Every structure is written in structure tokens, then in C-alpha cells.
């Protein structure tokens, strides 16, 4: 502590801008400062956003339905974001790329189907017969199942592989995904089954037609994000972050690395289950491996786009990727060009651009 | 506050009188064997630290100092032997239990949480005491009195601190866990001599306020704050230095270099 007297601030100043518990109440003072700094840091992203706005204007001029595009992009993007958020949390806490993140969602969604069918696998779920309350209860159950499965994967597989190379863990999670898909195929056959939404129909807001289900997805994502931000401000959330940064040092203070990684996996599993129930709702149907085949690649792209390991980046990346995919779809259809699977193609192009020009992602930090 | 610490100091003075070490032993390690994987490192470590003492564990690289510390704080499995803390056999305890009973280690290389603010680092330090928020608030005040520099930097990310400040933060974080025995692993490593002196001064103050300290050092300068010096060599404590021996550099170097 060789504090020279010259650079020490006046005592009064120190009193003012240093709250005793460091609970973040002093953050507000430097908001504009932080804003300008983050603008400087993310100027590449801002340039891209500007380019997107110009592109959108051109599309409107060409008579394309940009409103519908934004709505479609939001629905898909919010699911990408939800799955990507789970991937980011798990990566941050255990440095594992979780390829089972999709199936940790499909599986609970299939349990929901099983319950709705009353165990009769030859039956058929009539979405009109499923009440909101019932749907809410089943979603809650799905979240519990997803979280439990994720915690089990962490405790019985990931923690046991803690000393091995990250690739081993990655392959193990891919194995879990394949196993879960196998279980689904055996139990439910390779056929599509109807899946209910919370609300059907659509609502007009600001002249845009929003499917009710899209709004539900967006709200769930918003609530989940707010809860997570809140968690990271609590003592538990801070311990989780600390354990993710240095498990050994955290253990020396009694923070169990096993418990903290399980917490991260549990939250990710809950998010996966929400993604599964809402993702199946998008198609109003479910097939084995649904989340892996339709959302996982986009979610990984979103997580990389946002900066792998950054929860805020995952949400931003997911929403952005949703818009890119929707834009690819609208432009190709609008211009009458036939590009097979344009949205996925666009996602891969984005992934390659990010890896080529900004491998850290939009909000990623130096490792 | 003042009277309390004065009382502590008198108690400590009593504990330091000759003979007290045997009866008032806070930590007693006997016949400790341990290692990594199949590789044995410790071959029967014996040591005792009395309540209120500052002990310094000296030795060259690979002598087994850190391995011994990791056994004491429960982060490494003990193969054979016994560790008794305050009359309890803690040989098989895990880190969490050891922290709960007051054995806290400040790890080698500081290991602060770089992406968290100084305040958050201290908050994580107090994790084991989270049910006693009043004590945590009081202790935070106390710790920030020891380290005024940290008070100025409560909202700064720990990763942006200088090496000396990070070492201070690591010790401060350890103090937030309510240690009865504070183990500080290689505090002086990589620090400028003037900062090392500051660190040793702080250790002296912490000890005067009633915390028993075990410092792990390669820097013989640490002996200036020590009540007892333990010299390790090839997995054993080969020499115990007390009294005048601690100030006698030639005796120390002879013990260290064999």
C-alpha cells in the first residue's frame, strides 16, 4: 500500500462515490461516460446496424413487407436467444459447449405431450382442448424436468470430465443429445405430434399483425432476461460469476464449484425447456430432435455472434440473427429468387463473418 | 473496538510466552503424507502453531510448502497422518468445512476474481459468513481500514489493479471469511521490495488483532514478522526456528540451503 499522497482523492469525494457495499448504486454517475465508451467499443456493431437500417429502407422502397419480416424475425429470434442464453451460461460456468442444449428442451416438451395424451401414445392432442392454466402448469413442470436433467448431466458427466480436455466434454454433450433423440424416437416414433400454444390467433399492435404466440415468446424471453440480470446482482449470482472465473479461489472461500456449476446448468436446462415448449408451439407440432434440428445451429451462431459466454450477447445475438434470417427470407421471396433454406444460409454467412472479422463477438471480452 | 483489540493483544502476549505453544496449539500436523496423483510430495510433515502466533513456512521450490497448506485447508487429499485444528481432527474435512471453522487460505498467485469489482470480490470472500450480515458489514469496515487503497477502488474491476493491490485484495478477501488461521501462500512473490514490506506490515497488524497466521514464503525477510519459522525440505519440516534464531540470517540460510 504505497499510496502516494498526490494521487489520493480528497476524503469527501471518496465518501461520495464509494458506497460501502459496492452494490452498484454508484454506477449511475458514470452512465453517459460508459455509454460513450461502449459506443466507441462497439462501433463496428453500430456500423452494421446502420447498414441494416439502410437495407430495410431499400426493402420498403421495393415494396416488401418489412413489418411482417420484423415480426417473424422476433418470433424466431427470441427462441434462438433463449437457447443461446443457456449455451452462454453453461459455457461461462463450465467452459463447455453444450450440444445437448436443444434436446434438454425437446425432451421436457415431449413429457408435456405424454401428459396431455394421458399416456396414450396412439392418441392425438387437440390444442383447442388445452386451457391456459393447464398449459402454464405443464410449462412449469417442463422447466423443472429440463433443469433436473441439466443438473444431472453436469453432476454425472461434466464434473467427472472436469480434468479432461474441453473436446471430451463437448463430445459427451453431443452424446447426451443423440441419446435423448434416440429415447424420443423409441418412445414416440418418428412422427409429428400436435403441440398446443398458450394463445392462438394474432393481435394488431402499431399496425403490425403479431401472432399471439410470438408475443408470448418475447415476453418469456424478457422476463427470463430480467430475472437473470437480477440474479447476477445478488450474492448468489456474484458467487456464481466468481466460481466461473476461478473455481479454486471460490472454493477456498466455501463456494462449492459443484453447486455453482449445477446452478448454471439448472438455469440453462430451465431455459432449454422453455425454448422447447415455445419452439414446439411455433410449429404447433413436435418431432424427435426438434430443437436440435431447427434451433440449435442458429442458437450457437447467436451465442458466437454475441460473444460466447456473454448472456447479454446471447440475447442480442439471438434477436439479431432472427432478423437476419427473416430478412434473408423476405428478400429472396420478394425478389423472386429461389434459394433453398435462405434463413439458414444467412445464419451461416453471419457466423463466418463474425468468426472472420470479430471472433470475440459483439459483446465478447478478451479471454 | 480499541479495548477489544487491546484485550486480544494481551491474550496474545500470554500465548507467546515460552511453553504456551505446546498447550495452546491451534494447529497440529503430525506425520502428514500427501501428493498429487501417484506422486508423493510430503513424507511425514510435523508442525505445530500456537494460537496467536505468526508462523512462516520456509523452503525451496518443491519442498512441499503449498502441498502442506492445501492439506490443511482441505483442498488436497491427505494420504496419511493427522491434522488437528483447535482440538478437532480435521484430516478428512473438505474445504467448505475448513473455511466454516476458520481455516482460510489466500492462494498463491493472488487469484482475485478479475471480472468482478473489488467490492464484489470481498463479498464473495464473506460467502461462508453470509448468514451474519451484521458481522460482514463490520468486518468490511475493518478490512477497508487495513487497506485504505481498496476503499478507493471498491467499484473498480479487480483485474485492473496492480500486482500489489491484487495481493492486498486477496488478503482482504481472505479476512472476510472470518479466519482464525489465515494461510497466506507466497504473498511476496513478484512484488517490489517496498510493497513486500507493506504486505508484511499488514500481516503484523492482522496478527496483532487476533488472527493466527501461517505464511508460506521463499523470502527469508518474512521471518522478521514471525514467532516461529518452519523450514521444509523434501517433504518434511527439518528445522524449527524460534527466538534469536529467527533474526540470525546465517542460521536461516544454513537451514535453508542444507
HEC readout, chain B: CHHHHHHHHHHHHHHHCCCHHHHCEEEEEEEEEEEECCEEEEEEEEEEEECCCEEEEEECCCCCHHHHHHHHCCCCCEEEEEEEECCEECCCCCHHHHHHHCEEEECCCCCCCCCCEHHHHHHHHCHHHCCCHHHHHHHHHHHHHHCHHHHHCCCCEHHHCCHHHHHHHHHHHHHCCCCCEEEEECCCCCCCHHHHHHHHHHHHHHHHCCCEEEEEECCHHHHHHCCEEEEEECCEEEEEEECHHHHCHHHHHHHHHC
pLDDT at A39: 74
Mutation for testing the B interface, residue in A254, A364, A367 having most B CBs under 10 Å: A254
Question: Å from B18 to nearest chain A CA?
Answer: 33
Mean pLDDT, residues A261-270: 96
Residue A92 is part of a domain; what is its CATH number? 1.10.3470
A132-136, A353-357, B224-228: segment of lowest average pLDDT: A353-357
pLDDT at B57: 95
pLDDT at A299: 93
Per-residue pLDDT reduced to its tens digit, B140-169: 999 999 999 999 999 999 999 999 999 999
Domain membership of residue A98 (yes or no) is yes
**pLDDT band for position B208 (50/70/90)?**
very high
Domain membership of residue A18 (yes or no) is no
pLDDT at B7: 45
Question: Å from A113 to nearest chain B CA?
Answer: 42
Per-residue pLDDT reduced to its tens digit, A330-349: 888 878 888 788 888 888 88
For the CA atoms of A108, A109, A113, A114, what is the dihedral angle to 10 degrees?
A: -10
pLDDT at A365: 67
Per-residue pLDDT reduced to its tens digit, A41-52: 777 778 877 887
Taking each helix axis from N to C end, the angle separating B163-175 and B133-146, rounded to the nearest 10 degrees, works out to: 150
Distance between CA atoms of residues A265 and A250, nearest Å: 18
Pick from B41, B23, B24: which is nearest to B32 by CA? B41
Query: B9 in contact with A at a CB cutoff of 8 Å?
Result: no
Cβ partners under 8 Å of residue A133, min gap 6: none
Q: Flag if A242 and B75 touch (Cβ within 8 Å).
A: no
**pLDDT band for position B258 (50/70/90)?**
low
Distance between CA atoms of residues A192 and A170, nearest Å: 29
Share of chain A above pLDDT 70, in %: 91
Distance between CA atoms of residues A283 and A303, nearest Å: 23
A23-27, A259-263, B128-132, B155-159: segment of lowest average pLDDT: A23-27
Distance between CA atoms of residues B46 and B32, nearest Å: 7
Mutation for testing the A interface, residue in B93, B124, B170 having most A CBs under 10 Å: B124
Per-residue pLDDT reduced to its tens digit, A55-67: 778 878 877 777 8
Contact A87, A98 (CB under 8 A): yes
Distance between CA atoms of residues A16 and A19, nearest Å: 7
**pLDDT band for position A124 (50/70/90)?**
confident
Distance between CA atoms of residues B115 and A245, nearest Å: 7
Distance between CA atoms of residues A114 and A101, nearest Å: 21
Residue A298: domain span: 64-357
Q: Flag if B198 and A8 touch (Cβ within 8 Å).
A: no
Per-residue pLDDT reduced to its tens digit, B45-98: 999 999 999 999 998 888 999 999 999 999 999 999 999 999 999 999 999 999
Q: Assign A339 to helix, strand or coil.
A: coil
Q: Assign A320 to helix, strand or coil.
A: helix
Q: Flag if B107 and A249 touch (Cβ within 8 Å).
A: yes
Neighbours of A270 (CB within 10 A): 24
Q: Say yes or no to pLDDT of B10 above 50.
A: no
Q: Say yes or no to pLDDT of A286 above 50.
A: yes
CA distances from B58 to A364, B65, B199 (A): 43, 7, 17
Per-residue pLDDT reduced to its tens digit, B94-110: 999 999 999 999 999 99
A36 burial class (0-12, 13-18, 19+ CB within 10 angstroms)? Answer: exposed
Mean pLDDT, residues A66-78: 89
Mean pLDDT, residues A135-145: 95
B233 alpha-carbon distance from chain centroid: 19
Question: Å from B98 to nearest chain A CA?
Answer: 8
Distance between CA atoms of residues B105 and B221, nearest Å: 21
Share of chain A above pLDDT 90, in %: 50
Domain membership of residue A201 (yes or no) is yes
Cβ contacts of A24 on chain B, cutoff 8 Å = 155
Mean pLDDT, residues A132-140: 93
Per-residue pLDDT reduced to its tens digit, B16-27: 444 334 447 899
Q: Write out the DSSP string of A202-235.
A: EEEETTEEEEHHHHHHHHHHHHHHHHHHHHTTSH
Could you tell me the residue ranges of all domains in chain B?
A: 113-174
Task: Give the residue with greater pLDDT, B87 vs A29.
Answer: B87
Q: Say yes or no to pLDDT of B13 above 50.
A: no
Mean pLDDT, residues B161-184: 95
Domain count, chain A: 1
Cβ contacts of A17 on chain B, cutoff 8 Å = 155
Residue that is written with C-alpha cell 498467485 in the block: B109
Neighbours of A289 (CB within 10 A): 20
**Hey, CA dihedral for B209, B212, B218, B220, is it positive or negative?**
positive
Distance between CA atoms of residues A137 and A167, nearest Å: 38
Cell of B114: 478479475
Per-residue pLDDT reduced to its tens digit, A199-255: 888 888 888 888 889 999 999 999 999 999 999 999 999 999 999 999 999 999 999
Contact A334, A62 (CB under 8 A): yes
Q: Say yes or no to pLDDT of A318 above 70.
A: yes
Mean per-residue pLDDT over chain B, rounded: 88
Q: Assign A363 to helix, strand or coil.
A: coil
Q: Flag if B137 and A21 touch (Cβ within 8 Å).
A: yes
Cβ partners under 8 Å of residue A302, min gap 6: A80, A81, A83, A84, A314, A317, A318, A320, A321
Distance between CA atoms of residues A93 and A154, nearest Å: 11
B113, B154, B194 member nearest A22 (Cβ): B154
Half-sphere exposure of A109 (CA within 13 A, CB side): 35
Task: Give the residue with greater pLDDT, A113 vs A57.
Answer: A113
Mean pLDDT, residues B1-11: 44
pLDDT at B107: 95
A3-12, A120-129, A284-293, B137-146: segment of lowest average pLDDT: A3-12
Mean pLDDT, residues A134-152: 96
Share of chain B above pLDDT 70, in %: 91
Cβ contacts of B152 on chain A, cutoff 8 Å = 8-9, 14, 18
**ipTM for the whole complex:** 0.86
Amino acid at each position: 500500500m504505497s499510496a502516494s499522497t498526490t494521487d489520493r482523492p480528497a476524503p469527501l469525494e471518496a465518501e461520495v462515490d464509494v458506497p460501502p457495499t459496492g452494490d452498484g448504486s454508484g454506477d449511475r454517475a458514470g452512465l453517459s461516460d460508459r455509454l460513450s465508451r461502449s459506443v466507441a467499443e462497439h462501433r463496428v456493431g453500430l456500423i452494421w446496424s446502420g447498414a441494416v437500417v439502410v437495407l430495410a429502407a431499400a426493402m420498403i422502397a421495393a415494396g416488401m413487407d418489412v413489418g411482417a419480416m420484423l415480426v417473424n424475425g422476433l418470433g424466431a429470434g427470441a427462441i434462438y436467444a433463449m437457447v443461446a442464453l443457456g449455451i452462454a451460461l453453461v459455457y461461462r460456468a463450465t467452459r463447455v459447449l453444450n450440444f445437448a442444449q436443444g434436446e434438454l428442451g425437446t425432451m421436457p416438451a415431449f413429457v408435456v405431450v405424454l401428459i396431455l395424451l394421458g399416456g396414450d401414445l396412439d392418441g392425438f392432442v387437440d390444442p383447442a382442448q388445452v386451457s391456459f392454466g393447464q398449459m402454464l402448469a405443464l410449462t412449469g413442470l417442463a422447466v423443472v424436468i429440463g433443469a433436473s436433467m441439466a443438473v444431472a448431466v453436469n453432476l454425472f458427466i461434466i464434473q467427472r470430465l472436469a480434468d479432461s480436455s474441453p473436446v471430451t466434454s463437448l463430445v459427451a454433450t453431443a452424446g447426451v443429445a443423440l441419446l435423448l433423440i434416440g429415447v424420443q424416437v423409441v418412445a414416440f416414433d418418428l412422427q409429428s405430434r400436435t403441440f398446443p400454444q398458450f394463445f392462438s390467433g394474432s393481435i394488431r399492435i402499431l399496425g403490425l399483425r403479431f401472432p399471439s404466440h410470438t408475443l408470448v415468446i418475447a415476453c418469456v424471453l424478457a422476463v427470463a432476461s430480467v430475472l437473470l440480470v437480477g440474479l447476477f446482482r445478488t450474492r448468489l449470482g456474484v458467487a456464481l460469476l466468481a466460481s466461473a472465473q476461478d473455481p479454486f479461489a471460490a472454493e477456498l472461500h466455501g463456494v462449492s464449484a459443484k453447486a455453482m456449476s449445477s446452478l448454471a446448468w439448472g438455469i440453462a436446462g430451465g431455459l432449454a425447456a422453455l425454448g422447447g415448449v415455445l419452439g414446439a408451439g411455433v410449429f404447433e407440432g413436435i418431432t424427435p430432435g426438434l430443437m436440435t434440428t431447427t434451433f440449435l445451429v442458429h442458437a450457437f451462431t447467436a451465442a458466437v455472434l454475441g460473444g460466447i459466454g456473454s448472456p447479454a450477447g446471447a440475447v442480442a445475438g439471438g434477436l439479431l440473427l432472427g432478423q437476419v434470417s427473416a430478412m434473408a427470407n423476405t428478400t429472396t421471396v420478394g425478389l423472386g429468387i429461389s434459394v433453398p433454406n435462405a434463413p439458414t444460409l444467412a445464419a451461416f454467412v453471419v457466423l463466418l463473418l463474425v468468426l472472420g472479422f470479430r471472433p470475440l463477438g459483439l459483446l465478447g471480452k478478451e479471454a | 473496538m480499541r479495548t477489544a483489540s487491546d484485550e486480544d493483544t494481551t491474550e496474545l502476549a500470554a500465548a507467546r510466552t515460552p511453553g504456551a505453544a505446546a498447550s495452546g496449539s491451534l494447529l497440529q500436523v503430525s506425520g502428514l503424507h500427501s501428493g498429487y496423483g501417484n506422486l508423493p510430495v510430503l513424507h511425514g510433515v510435523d508442525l505445530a502453531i500456537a494460537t496467536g502466533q505468526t508462523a512462516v513456512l520456509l523452503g525451496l521450490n518443491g519442498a512441499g510448502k503449498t502441498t502442506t497448506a492445501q492439506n490443511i485447508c482441505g483442498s488436497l487429499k491427505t494420504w496419511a497422518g493427522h491434522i488437528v485444528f483447535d482440538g478437532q481432527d480435521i484430516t478428512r474435512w473438505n474445504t467448505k468445512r475448513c473455511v466454516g471453522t476458520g481455516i482460510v487460505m489466500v492462494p498463491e498467485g493472488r487469484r482475485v476474481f478479475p471480472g468482478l469489482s473489488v467490492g464484489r470480490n470481498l463479498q464473495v470472500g464473506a460467502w461462508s459468513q453470509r448468514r451474519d450480515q451484521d458481522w460482514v458489514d463490520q468486518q468490511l469496515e475493518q478490512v477497508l481500514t487495513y487497506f485504505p487503497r481498496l476503499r478507493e477502488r471498491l467499484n473498480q474491476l479487480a483485474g485492473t489493479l496492480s500486482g500489489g493491490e491484487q495481493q492486498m485484495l486477496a488478503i482482504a478477501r481472505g479476512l472476510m471469511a472470518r479466519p482464525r488461521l489465515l494461510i497466506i501462500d507466497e504473498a511476496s512473490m513478484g512484488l517490489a521490495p517496498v510493497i513486500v514490506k507493506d504486505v508484511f506490515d499488514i500481516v503484523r497488524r492482522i496478527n496483532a488483532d487476533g488472527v493466527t497466521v501461517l505464511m508460506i514464503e521463499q523470502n527469508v525477510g518474512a521471518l522478521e514478522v514471525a514467532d516461529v519459522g518452519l523450514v521444509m525440505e523434501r517433504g518434511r519440516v527439518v528445522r524449527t526456528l524460534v527466538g534469536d534464531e529467527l533474526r540470525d540470517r546465517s542460521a536461516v540460510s544454513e537451514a535453508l540451503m542444507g
